[in-house]
Structure 1
C-alpha cells in the first residue's frame, strides 16, 4: 500500500535529528547535511546503476514531456535537496530536535499543496485539506509544548526549519512529476540524489569534516546516509507512485511523531499534555489520509495524479 511505504519512509526520516545529536559537536548543520547527501546520494545512484546493469536499462522520464524538460526538473530537485539538508539541521540544532523537525515537516504539506496547485492547476482535494488542517493543529500543539511548554525557541532555528519545509515541497513535487512522466521511482530518487551528491561535494569540502574521524561521527554519517536517505527515499519513491505529492507530504508527518518520541525517550526532551494531544491529532490526520473513503471524487482522482 503506497501510504504505508511513505509512513515507513517517514519513520526513517524521523531519526535524522537524533542521529545528528550523537555526532561530535564539530559536526555543523552544513557539514552533516552535505555528508548525508554524499553518502545517501551515491548509494542511491549505485542502486540505480546496478539495476540498469542487471535489467539492461530502467524506464526514464521523457525529456519531451509537457512542461519543463527532465534535465531542468532534475537540477531544480537536486538544488532543493541540497538546500534542505543544512536548513533542516539548522532548525534541529537551534530549536531542538523535536521542534525543528516538527516545524520543517509540519510546514511541508502546506508548501507542497500550494505548489502542486500552482503547477498542476489541480486542487489537492477535500480529504487532503481536512487532514492538513488537522495536522497543522497537531503540529502547533507540539511546537508550543516542547521546551518546557513556553514555546521559546530560537528564531533562527524556526526560519531554517521553514526553509527546509519549502525545499522538501519542491523536490517532492519534482519527483512526482518525473514519476508521472514514466520514470521508475528508484531511478527518479537515484538521479535526484545522485545529482545532489555531486552538488554537495564542494559544500562538504568547504566545511570542517574532522568529526568523521571519531567513531560516533562515522556511525552518525552512516546512519544519515544509509537509513535516513537511501532506504527512506526508496520507500518514499515507491509510495509516491500511487499518491499525489501533497498527500505523500502530509503522510510524512509521521516523521515529527517519530522525532518527538525519540526526543523524549532518548534525548530527555519534555513531552507535556499539550504535546501528547498534538501527537494524537497528527495521528488522526494521517488516518484520514490512509483510510479509504469510498467513492469521494478527491480520492478517486488522487492515484497517479501529480
Structure 2
C-alpha cells in the first residue's frame, strides 16, 4: 500500500488537527445552551456530518459497491456501530457523572484500549515510545480534568469506559480499512459510517425535532456537523493510513486538552496548578506520539557489496 506524504508530522498532524476540532464540541455546547437533548444532538451531529462528508466525496461513491463486495462491509459496520455506541455511551456518562469525569474516563481509557485492541486483533507492536507517551498523556488527562466531587456513579463510569473502548474499536477498524482496502476512499467510507451510526439515535432525534426551531440549537448543530464532524473525520480518515492505531489512541488526548484551553480563553474558566501540570504532561505525551523523530526507525538496509567484494555466481534462468 502506498502512503501519501503529508506536511506537519505527516498523518499524525492530520489526526492531531481532527482531535483539536473535536475538542470544540463541549465548549460549543456550553456556549449555545440549547434545549436539544444530548442523544438528539449527537444524532443530528452525525447526520449532518455524514451528509456533508458524503457530498464532498460524492465522486468516490460508485467505487464503494465493488469494495463492499470485497470485504469492506464488515469493518464498515463495526466502525458504524462503534460510532453510534460511542455517542450514546459518552452522553450517558456525561449525564450521570458530569462532563469532566466522563471525559477523563472515556479519553483516559481510549489510548490503552486502542493499543491493546490493535495488538490483539492486528498484531501491532506496542513500542516503548507509545508506552511513555501514553502514560504521560493519560496521567496529564487525569490531572487536567480531575473532578472535585467525591461521589461516583457506577453506571456512568461503566458507560464512560465503554465509550473509550468504542473509540479504540473505531480506530483499529478504520486503520484496517485503510490497510486492507487501499483503493477505497476513506472519507467516503467515513461518511457512510457516520450515517449508519446515526440510525440508533433516530428515536431521540424525532422526539426532540421541535428544538431545532431554536436559532441557538440550529447554529450548534451546524457547527458540530460541519466543523466538529465533517472536517475532522476527513482529516482523521486521511491521516490514519500513515499513522499507527496506538499513536492515534494517544493523540486522541488532544481533544480534552483543546476543550480545556477553550474553556479558559473563551468561557473564562480557571485552571488550577494541578490542571496546569496535567496540561504540560499531556503536551509532552502528545509531542512524543506525534514527532517522527521519536518513533522507532525501520531497520537499516544491508549495504551494497563493494567493488572489491567477490559476488556469488548467479544461477542461470531458463524459460
TM over 0.5: yes
Q: Secondary structure at the match of 1:124?
A: coil
- The number of equivalent residue pairs is 288
Q: Counterpart in 2 of 1:194?
A: 195
Of residues 172-181 and 156-165 in structure 1, the stretch that sits farther from structure 2 once superposed is: 156-165
**Structural mapping, 1:82-121, within 5 Å:** 82-121=84-123
Contact 2:187 2:234 in 1 (8 A): yes
Write the distance in 1 (CA, Å) between the matches of 2:80 and 2:179: 18
| Residue number among 292, 298, 301 corresponding to 1:300 in the alignment | 298
| Residue number among 27, 32, 39 corresponding to 2:41 in the alignment | 32
The CA RMSD measured in Å over matched residues stands at 2.6
Contact 1:104 1:163 in 2 (8 A): yes
Q: Counterpart in 1 of 2:178?
A: 179
Matched, 1:16 2:25: yes
Q: Secondary structure at the match of 1:167?
A: helix
Task: For structure 2, list consecutive stretches of 5 or more residues without a partner in the other structure.
Answer: 1-9, 300-319
Q: CA deviation at 1:202?
A: 4.1
Q: Secondary structure at the match of 2:261?
A: helix
Of residues 26-35 and 211-220 in structure 1, the stretch that sits farther from structure 2 once superposed is: 26-35
Q: Deviations for 1:188-236, whole angstroms, at most 9, x for unmatched residues?
A: 212222322445434522x323321111100111111111110011011
Contact 1:98 1:256 in 2 (8 A): no
Q: Call closer, same or farther: CA 1:13–1:294 in 2, change over 3 Å.
A: closer
Write the distance in 1 (CA, Å) between the matches of 2:155 and 2:260: 20
Task: For structure 1, list consecutive stretches of 5 or more residues without a partner in the other structure.
Answer: 302-306
Q: Call closer, same or farther: CA 1:209–1:159 in 2, change over 3 Å.
A: farther
Q: Deviations for 1:223-267, whole angstroms, at most 9, x for unmatched residues?
A: 111111100110111110110122112112111101112233334
Write the distance in 1 (CA, Å) between the matches of 2:150 and 2:265: 20
Contact 2:40 2:202 in 1 (8 A): no
Contact 1:97 1:263 in 2 (8 A): no
Q: Deviations for 1:94-118, whole angstroms, at most 9, x for unmatched residues?
A: 4444443333222111111111111
Write the distance in 1 (CA, Å) between the matches of 2:295 and 2:35: 53
Q: Secondary structure at the match of 1:300?
A: coil
Q: Counterpart in 2 of 1:304?
A: none
Write the distance in 2 (CA, Å) between the matches of 1:151 and 1:139: 18
TM-score normalised by structure 1 residue count: 0.84
